[in-house]
Chains A and B, each alone.
Chain A
Amino acid sequence: MNRLISIAVASLLSCTMAFSKEVKIGVIMPMSGDIGGFGQSAVEGLNVAYEMNNKLENGDDIKLVLVDNKSDKIEAANAATKLVSYDKVSAIIGALTSTNTMAMTKIAENAKVPVVAPVATNILVTKRKDFVSRVCFSDAFQGEVAANFAMNTLKLKKTVLVTDVKNDYSIGISKVFKRAYKKLGGTILQQVKINQGDADYKAMLSNIKALNPELIFFPIYSAEAALIAKQAKQLGIKAKFMGTDGMTADKVFFEVGGDAVEGFYATDLYSPSTPKTTELAKKYEKAYKAKLNKEVHPFGVLAADSYNVIVNAMNQCEDPTNTICVNEKIRATKSFEGASGMITLENGDAVRSAVINVIKDGKKEYLTTVNP
């Protein structure tokens, strides 16, 4: 009996499907492996956006094809090839880290399929490419914003810089910060190196305590930042702390950091309490909180916006599977009201404002906006 019903339903569905096309968007994310956690956060956010809108304006269904790249380049490249030639996707979202994303750009370029990277911030990702765009700002911008804020607004002249050598995002921002901060007249007392995944930072922090800096700038991810903050508080370090969007990304930072992270500054893409935000952002945040029961994760909302930008572009094309048209429209995105704020794309790079948040009562609180 069940079988008959399912056959009947299937044939009915396939009849209806024959009338509307299916447009596929490929998603390459690390769902297992070292950075699997980040990929999972991104995909969660993406799914919220998908549930909010999974049809094009012309009635075509959008299908997401998710491929796990296991935090690995070889897999990322294989995944891209599979999506492009086997699944015949019209656009790709991915792949999270800059280095993994760059593993698939060549394939996309050759196949003329647009790639929208949600979080890859290294400038090399979009440089000299015609089919690769991103919705986040680059390391260069964020590093400068941080340096300017530290020097000009907070007026902190002596900084210790903590870099995670295993993390290309951290390296990129550190480099820009160092240059910009020095140019503004600040002194970097020391540049300490850590490894992603480390747990014990007391040795390094005891050293820093002895140096007595005014500010500690650490463009690293949530887990390491939380542990550093906690251990720093235990050791009684009095300096101010400033991080970047990677730091406040995961709720683990707030949970583990607790009151050790009160008063921390962070540059970010957007802030939940910012006055000027888009309609879509408000709707998205509501849907996100309802489904996932936590604060919006930056990776999630950026993945969502990659999706939104692509859908927006597809809606402007006669044939949404015409990848060249889709790419053109993606690159021409101007003042698009995304879930994370206003997005304008120029040569594949996102031109958007950064905000500076301060942590108050375990939440990000908006401080000010910095325009490019």
Chain B
Amino acid sequence: MNKNFIIYLTLAILFVLISPYLFDDYGVRILNNIFIFLILAASYNLINGVTGQFSLEPNGFVAIGAYVTALCLLSEDLKWDLFQLEDPAPWVLALNTSLVPALLLSGVVATIVAVFLAAPVFRVRGDYLAIVTLGFGFIIKVFAINSPEITNGSIGLNEIPSLINIYWTGGIAIITVLVMLNIVYSKYGRAMKAVRDDEDAASAIGINTFKIKTMAFGTSAFFEGVGGGLLAILLTTISPDLFTFFLTFQLLIIIVLGGLGSMTGTIIGTVLVIGGSEWLRFLDGPMNIFGIQTEAHPGLRMVIFSVILILVMLFAREGIMGKKELSTILRKKFKKGKDDVRD
């Protein structure tokens, strides 16, 4: 671990610690959102940006994580009360743990599903992979709607105890980024990048591409599951309509904007997209453009959002950071002449 890295890490931890005092409730809420999305985006970046597998699965794994955590944290009495459609299945009632095991279980269940899916999913590549993963995400949502004994159908689960605060989300976000960076700079990470850059060549030099892809997929799924669990607790209520393609789409925008494969880029992307979409709220109300008073046009925000995405794709495809990390750029700026093989 080099010096710069420790500096960044300390700054990050400090920031998380003092944030409740810097911001009001609204700011803290947005920060919570940013941290959770950071967890999701960083792990999504692993399979999508680093390993180059264009998968659209996050909403499925986030859903799994959210439901597992929610079911674990709700007490048995509460469950009898909440489940309106059908009586909850007995094993659902029996499920009851505290916060950390719930989150871990979310991650583990998501990973297990991912590993199961890996075999069929990675038989295809490119666009087909995208569609197959999109399909799985969708099937999970349909399943959630139609299994009231497990998920309470469209009514969803609510009154999830609010056990977390900014320290949890910030802390887990930092841990996730650390883990991701570790993987990226390890031999597994290099193998993943090799798979991304040219899968056949990678296979030719002896990399077990299937194993690498499954590893990335599984790790991705784990953190997406944990992130989902945190999301459930933050919102205190979940239902199937939370886990739509739009969720995956937001993560996609984030990692593309930040630069596929760059962790720093993901951080910047998350702040821009999540913070930005709150900031752009003003577009939904009556506006004052150069003195002309316009009427409120709710929904304009989403239009502008999609335009921004298209513009980014047209003019800045590599995203803000491209494939580089902040440390690489700074190093190149301040230490000319030193060879840098890492990218």
- Interface on A for B, CB 8 Å cutoff? 2, 6, 31-34, 36, 39-40, 66-68, 70-74, 77-78, 81-82, 84-86, 98-99, 102-103, 106, 111, 122-124, 127-128, 165-168, 171-172, 175, 193
Give Cα A66 to B24, complex, Å.
Answer: 21
Contact B155 A98 (CB under 8 A): yes
* 25 A-B pairs (CB sep. < 8 Å): A2-B291, A31-B298, A33-B302, A34-B241, A40-B298, A66-B298, A68-B298, A72-B241, A72-B246, A77-B234, A77-B235, A78-B278, A81-B29, A82-B29, A84-B25, A86-B24, A98-B155, A99-B237, A102-B236, A124-B81, A165-B153, A166-B154, A166-B241, A171-B155, A175-B84
Tell me the B residues contacting A by CB distance below 8 Å. Answer: 24-26, 29-30, 33, 81-82, 84-85, 145-146, 153-156, 158-159, 162, 231, 234-242, 246, 278, 281, 284-285, 291, 296, 298-299, 301-302
For the complex, give the distance between the alpha carbons of A193 and B146 in Å: 10
Is A171's CB under 8 angstroms from B291's CB? no
Instruction: With CB as the reference atom, state the residue of chain A lying closest to B86.
Output: A175
Interface of A is mostly: helix
Please tell me if the beta carbons of A165 and B154 are within 8 angstroms of each other in the complex: yes
Task: Report which of B145, B146, B155, B240 forms a contact with A122, defined as CB distance below 8 A.
Answer: B155
Closest 6 CB pairs of A and B: A31-B298, A32-B299, A85-B25, A81-B29, A85-B26, A99-B239
> Do the beta carbons of A106 and B85 come within 8 Å of each other?
no
CB distance from B100 to the nearest CB of A (A): 22
Which residues on B sit within 8 Å (CB–CB) of A106? 162, 236
Closest to A47 in B: B296
A-B contact count (CB 8 A): 115
Tell me the minimal C-beta distance from B180 to chain A in angstroms: 23
Residues of B contacting A: mostly:
helix
List, in ascending order, chain A residues with CB within 8 A of B242's CB.
72-74
CB nearest to A65 among chain B residues: B285
Q: Is the CB of B156 within 8 A of A99?
A: yes
Contact (Cβ within 8 A) B237 A102? yes
Q: Which residues of B contact A86 (CB under 8 A)?
A: 24, 26
B278 touching A103, Cβ below 8 Å: no
Find the residue from B235, B285, B296 having the highest chain A CB count within 10 A.
B235
Bound Cα distance A34, B246 (Å): 11
The answer to whether B84 touches A67, judged by C-beta atoms less than 8 angstroms apart, is no
Q: How many whole Å from B139's CB to the nearest CB in chain A? A: 14
Q: Are B235 and A74 in contact (CB under 8 A)?
A: yes
Do A73 and B238 touch (CB < 8 A)? Answer: yes
Task: Report whether A32 and B145 are in contact in the complex, using a CB–CB cutoff of 8 Å.
Answer: no
CB distance from B63 to the nearest CB of A (A): 13
Tell me the complex Cα distance, A167–B240, Å.
11
Residues of A within 8 A of B153 (CB): 165, 168, 171
A253 to B: closest C-beta gap in Å: 21
Q: How far is the CB of A71 from chain B (nearest CB, A)?
A: 7
* Residue pair B241, A74 in contact (C-beta under 8 Å): no
**From residue A192, how far is it (CB to closest CB) to chain B in Å?**
13
Which one of A33, A77, A99, A175 has the highest number of Cβ atoms from chain B below 10 Å of its Cβ? A99
A-chain residues with CB within 8 Å of residue B246 when the two chains form the complex: 72
Beta-carbon contact of B154 and A78 below 8 Å: no
* Residue ID in chain A nearest B24 by CB atoms: A85
Query: Most chain-B CB neighbours within 10 Å: which of A71, A102, A127?
Result: A102
Contact A32 B25 (CB under 8 A): no
For A128, list chain B residues within 8 Å (CB): 159
B281, A99: Cβ atoms closer than 8 Å: no
Instruction: Say whether B155 contacts A77, CB under 8 Å.
Output: no
Known: A73-B238, A175-B84. 20 other contacts (CB 8 A): A32-B299, A32-B301, A67-B281, A68-B284, A73-B237, A78-B29, A78-B278, A81-B26, A82-B281, A86-B24, A98-B155, A122-B155, A124-B84, A124-B159, A128-B159, A168-B153, A168-B239, A171-B84, A171-B85, A171-B155
